[in-house]
Each structure stands twice: as structure tokens, then as C-alpha cells.
Amino acid sequence: MNEIIKEILKNLPDSKVSDSSFEAANIVLYTKDREFFLDNKGTVKNAVDAVKKRIELRADPNILLDEEKAKEVITKMFDEEAGLQSIFFEKARSVVTIEVEKPSAAIGKQGQTLKEIKEKTMWTPAIKRATIIKSQIIDDIKALLYANSEERRKFLDKIGHRIYDGWIRGRANEWVRITYLGGAREVGRSCILLQTPESRVLLDCGINVAATGPESYPFLEAPEFKIDELDAVVLSHAHVDHSGLIPFLFKMGYDGPVYCTAPTRDISALSQLDIIKIAKSEGREPPYDMEHIKAMVKNTIVIDFEEVTDITPDVRMTLYNAGHILGSAMVHLHIGNGLHNFLYTGDVNYGASQMLDPSSTRFPRLETLMIEATYGGKDNIKDPEIKADEQLAELIEQAVERGGKVLMPVLGTGRAQDVMILIDKMVKTGKMKEIPVYIDGMVWDMTAIHTAYPEYFTASVRKRLLNKDTNPFLDSYFKRVGSAKERKQVIDDEGSCIILATSGMLVGGASVEYFKGLAENPKNLLVFSCYQGEGSLGRKVQRGDKEIIFASGQKQEILNVRLEISKIDVSGHSDRNALMNFINNCDPHPKKVIVNHGEASKCLDLASSIHKQFKIETIAPKNLETTRLR
């Protein structure tokens, strides 16, 4: 028996625990004693204080009320206000998940309803908020996890043993180093390997959608990277340039954990399914298949912001709000027994946003900071949000007056929902006329996922989301486009409209089809609202190319670009000023800053400015370079 379990049992009455297991870094005890389960008289808390780990007591599966009877009992406990939607049982873990429209009403005063469920059924209840818009991907993920409940329990127990059973590689010296497998002096294919004598942790594993061939993918053939030695993958957020290649790791044979927030798990799985769909539609071989995405989902361990968890014997992780997109996180790693503290920002927004609070800046300790530089150049200064709103309203009004359509290529998550909230606000305040807003590509499904996690939004948006009458995503002028036939109808119909479609860089997806249908009419307007990667169609159009060549079977078609083109930054990335403010306000201040995720000139410029202003060491590594942190 693991030493930590032995230590816990010393603090508990004899014969009260029938079984014990790990759920990754958490410890679960099972009991057949009904009275002890309902009231352990503080003994479990004493055990928590003794070992400083999270411990949960559950009823042994053998004393649980039959699922059908338990479902009947639970259903009767909820009134109409709670809005009971569904009940799922995981007997292997003695947990029942109850989905409701209003969790606060379901929990009851001081958790009274939860106590009653325990008393009457012996199941441990978990209350979850139901999605306001039906999300097929969330339903599929739940079904997958419940169908593999026993397998998942064994997997989580295995991870716990890896964390708590001690070092397996020896500790002759203490050191920390990182190797860039992608994302250094470039935007796309972010992938960073962190190594200690004991641990191998991969931070993100993305695809550069604007590149082709080998340059699309990280350098997973680098000598430092060995798939059979990898202990954990940490995913900062769901954008494809950070998450797109994670299922490929499972194709390579990886069978370890993927840590991220719950929204990031759902959104990244949907994005990865889209990668397969687009590749097949273009006659290309996808980098992985559905089974590898399922394997990733089954091995994903969701973590809340500011929840501290061990991920290897010598690495403890905390995720902090990054303010970039729903569920996006900065990754704080406490390495060794106080040896080094490292923060990876991923994509970060330390400024105003339609949906999200600015990124966190307070951390328990911090020696090395790795920060993005997407908009890190000295000229990358964004307009204030209110000015961007006014500019967008004016552009749309001009296009509508001349009878044109407005195409906004967007990323499936983040930018798209920002723009939807922005349009909703402009219509409701009278700054913009109400016209149809067509939602195509993944945007609708991504928006459905957003409605499942209102707790991640700003207080004002959260309040609106929780009320069906004020929810901006449910307004009647947002219309879903669900087929190629409907898409053609939107293009051909007379009358003005706004179209939000993926992909944001005009690289595959519905936005390319709209672009082809609208590009030759000067009445129409194309508004870029996100970063356009080098080599992408979006970058070519943005810089003014007037003739675009498309392959059509064995022939080539030339598209003449005559529509108006504009760019309005409602980006989820910090601009130059916000990046500098973020570093200035970091508490504590880092001793070293590593700059990544930006074009080479922007990485070097930001690194130089940080060094000059803050008098701290800065570097902007290249791909395949290794940096020792300690």
C-alpha cells in the first residue's frame, strides 16, 4: 500500500475504510459504514491536515441504492425552478451527476438537497449546469466518460501512483530546462517540453494552420522528446495552434494525462474533429482519427482556476485565468521543493474584453515568466474597445446602406462570441440596425459550449447568460447556417446581412466559401478581427492581393478581389502596452522572461524592451533551442 494511504488510515477509526484509490492527485476513500459516510465526525478533515492532500469519502459501491430507485428518489427532490435535465450514475466511483438549469436552486439552502441525496441514496451528488443551447459535443463527451467509468477510475488511480509512489529516474542533481519544439519566434504549433531529472511535461501541442507540410507540426522527432517518457501534457487553451496535435500524441502511443479546464477540453475536442473533417474534404490524410480524440478525452483531467494539484512527483501545477478565450489558462508550475517557479502565459489578455476578466497577475512565487508576443511589436497598439465598437458599427452601416453583405472570418471560439456580444450590444443601444447575423462553421457549436460555463465570464455577461430573456446568444437575429445549400442561399439572397464563419485566417472552413461568393462585389465588406498568420489566405488578402488563385480539380480559378477590406482588432491577445503592463504588475516580479509565440521581429523587440525597462534577463529562443531555468 502506498505510504500516503498508510498515513491517512492512521488518522481514521479502524475498519471504517473498505477501499481506497487515487483520482490523479486526489485521494478517495470508500466505506461500507453508513453512519461513518454520513458523519465521520471530522476524522477525514484531520487526515487532510496530516497529509496536506485533498481527500474525499464516498460510500462503497456495494451499499449504494439501486440506480433506478435512486433516480426516482432524486427526481422527486427537485422542483420546477431547479430545472432538472438529466441524471448520470458512475457506480465505479459512487458518483451521481445531476444536470440542472439553476444549480443554486438545486443545491438547496446550505447544501440541504445534497445532504438528503446522500442520506437517501448513499450516492455522492455532483450538481452541474445544463447547457442553454444543446451541445452535441458535450453530450458525446459525457456519454464517453460514463461508458468508460471503470476504465477511467483505473487510469486515474495509475496517475495517482505515478505522482505519489516516488521518484523513478533518480535525483543525482536538481535542474530544470525547457526545449522549444514549436512556437518560438513564430505564431503557431506551440509546443514546449519541460524537463527535470524526474519529470517530462509537455506544454501545449498545436498546429500551424497557415503553414503546409512539416512546418505545420512541432518537432516531435527532437532527441529530447521521447513519447514513452512523457509524464503529462498541460493544455493552456483550445485554439488549434495550441491544441490541434494533442490526439497525435495518443496515436504515437502516449497514454498519460492531459490537464486543462473543462471548457478547454470540450472546445479542443470539437476543433480537432473539425481538423479531421476539413482534411478529408480537401483530400488530405488527417493527422489522427476519431479514436485518438476519444483517447485524449478519456485521459483529460479537468482543473479549475487556482486549484493546486500535483502532476508528477516533483511538479505541482496551478492554472490561472489568462483572459484570452473561454477557459484559457496560464500555467504555473512549482518545481521541486521550492527549487523553481515557472509561469507559462499561453495566449494572454491583460485588457478589457467583451466576455472575460483580464488575466491574473498575482502568484505565490515566480522566478521565470514565459510570455507571448503575438502583438508584441512596438507598433502593436490597439484602439480602445469603445473606439473599435464605433468603427465596426460605422463600417457595417456603410455596407448596409450600399446593399452589401459583411463577412467576418472568425476563430470558432473567443473572437466569434466576442463579436456576437458586441453586435448584440450595438443593436440594443441603437448603434446598429437589426439585420440577420448568420452563424456558420463551428461557431454555433462553440457558442453552445459557452452557455455551459457562465462562471468563466465577467459578472455582467454571466448575469445576462443566466437569463433566457437577456442571453445575447439567443437573440432572434442570430441564425444558424447548417448546410452548403443554406450557405449558398445566404450568398445569393438579396439584402444585407452579417456572416460570422470559421476559419479566421481563411484557411479552410466555411469562411473561404463565403469569401469566394462575395469577393467580386464591391458593395460587400470583409472585416478581419483576428491575427492573420504568414502564408494564410487571410494574410494575402489583408496585404492587398487583388487576384487569388484557387485550385478547382485539374484547373485553376482566378478570383478578383473587389470587396472592401478592413481590420478591426477585437483580439483576445494583449497588445504591446498590455504586455508591458502585465509584466510590470506581476506579483512577484519575475527574475527572467522568455518571449515566444510571435513573429521573430516582435519577439526580439519585446524581449529588448522588457530588458531595458525592467532590468531583468530576457531571451527569445528559436525552435529546438534548450534553455536551463535552474
Q: Kindly report, residue by residue over 146-171, the tens digit of the pLDDT.
A: 999 999 999 999 999 999 987 777 66
Compute the average pLDDT of residues 490-514: 90
Domains: count for the chain: 4
Do both 417 and 346 map to the same domain?
Answer: no
pLDDT of residue 334: 98
Residue 135 counted as domain residue: no
> What percentage of the chain carries pLDDT values higher than 70?
98
Question: Minimum mean pLDDT among 76-90, 255-269, 407-421, 574-588: which range?
Answer: 407-421
pLDDT, one tens digit per residue, over 103-141 is: 988 998 888 999 999 999 999 999 998 888 888 899 999
pLDDT of residue 525: 95
pLDDT of residue 232: 98
pLDDT, one tens digit per residue, over 547-560 is: 888 876 677 888 89
SS3 591: coil
Do both 596 and 546 map to the same domain?
Answer: no
Do both 351 and 434 map to the same domain?
Answer: no
Partners of 233 in the β-ladder: 202, 258
pLDDT of residue 172: 64
| pLDDT category of residue 193 using cuts at 50, 70 and 90 | very high
The CA angle 143-145-151, to the nearest 5 degrees, is 135
Q: Is the pLDDT of residue 570 over 70?
A: no
Do both 155 and 241 map to the same domain?
Answer: no
> For the domain that residue 84 is a member of, what is the CATH number?
3.30.300.20
Residue 460 counted as domain residue: yes
Do both 230 and 290 map to the same domain?
Answer: yes
Q: For residue 227, is it left (φ>0), alpha (ψ between -120 and 50) or beta?
A: alpha
Do both 301 and 350 map to the same domain?
Answer: yes
For the chain, how long is the longest CA-to-CA vector? 81
Could you say which of 532, 551, 567 is where a domain stops? 567
Residue 496 counted as domain residue: yes
Distance between CA atoms of 302 and 260, rounded to whole angstroms? Answer: 5
pLDDT of residue 1: 53
> For the domain that residue 211 is a member of, what is the CATH number?
3.60.15.10
DSSP state for residue 323 in the 8-state scheme: S
Residue 593 counted as domain residue: yes
Size of the chain, expressed as the number of residues it contains: 630
Do both 7 and 57 map to the same domain?
Answer: yes
* 59 phi/psi in degrees, rounded to 5: -75, 140
Do both 368 and 390 map to the same domain?
Answer: no
Residue 343 counted as domain residue: yes
Domain that holds residue 107: 77-130
Locus of grid cell 501545477: 317
Residue 373 counted as domain residue: yes
Distance between CA atoms of 573 and 529, rounded to whole angstroms? Answer: 11
pLDDT, one tens digit per residue, over 7-54 is: 898 888 878 999 999 999 999 999 999 999 999 999 999 999 988 899
| pLDDT category of residue 369 using cuts at 50, 70 and 90 | very high
User: Highest mean pLDDT range out of 44-53, 274-283, 329-338?
Assistant: 329-338
**Helices (DSSP H) in 52-193: which residue ranges?**
67-77, 103-107, 112-121, 136-147, 149-164
**Helices (DSSP H) in 345-432: which residue ranges?**
385-401, 415-428
pLDDT of residue 630: 92
Do both 543 and 586 map to the same domain?
Answer: no
Residue 68 counted as domain residue: no
Do both 290 and 429 map to the same domain?
Answer: no
Do both 586 and 555 map to the same domain?
Answer: no
Residues 6+ away with beta carbon under 8 Å from 442: 270, 271, 274, 412, 413, 502, 509
Residues 6+ away with beta carbon under 8 Å from 338: 365
Do both 335 and 233 map to the same domain?
Answer: yes
Distance between CA atoms of 494 and 453, rounded to whole angstroms? Answer: 37
Output 447 or 227, whichever has higher pLDDT: 227
Residue 424 carries which side chain, given as an amino acid letter? D
Residues 6+ away with beta carbon under 8 Å from 250: 288, 292, 295, 296, 299
Could you say which of 552, 567, 582 is where a domain stops? 567
Distance between CA atoms of 86 and 88, rounded to whole angstroms? Answer: 7
Residue 411 counted as domain residue: yes
Q: Is the pLDDT of residue 252 over 60?
A: yes
Residue 313 carries which side chain, given as an amino acid letter? P
For residue 606, the tally of other CB atoms under 10 A from its CB is: 28
In contact, 57 and 29? CB cutoff 8 Å: yes
Could you say which of 567, 598, 619 is where a domain stops? 567
What is the average pLDDT value for the chain, to the nearest integer?
92
> For the domain that residue 432 is a member of, what is the CATH number?
3.40.50.10890
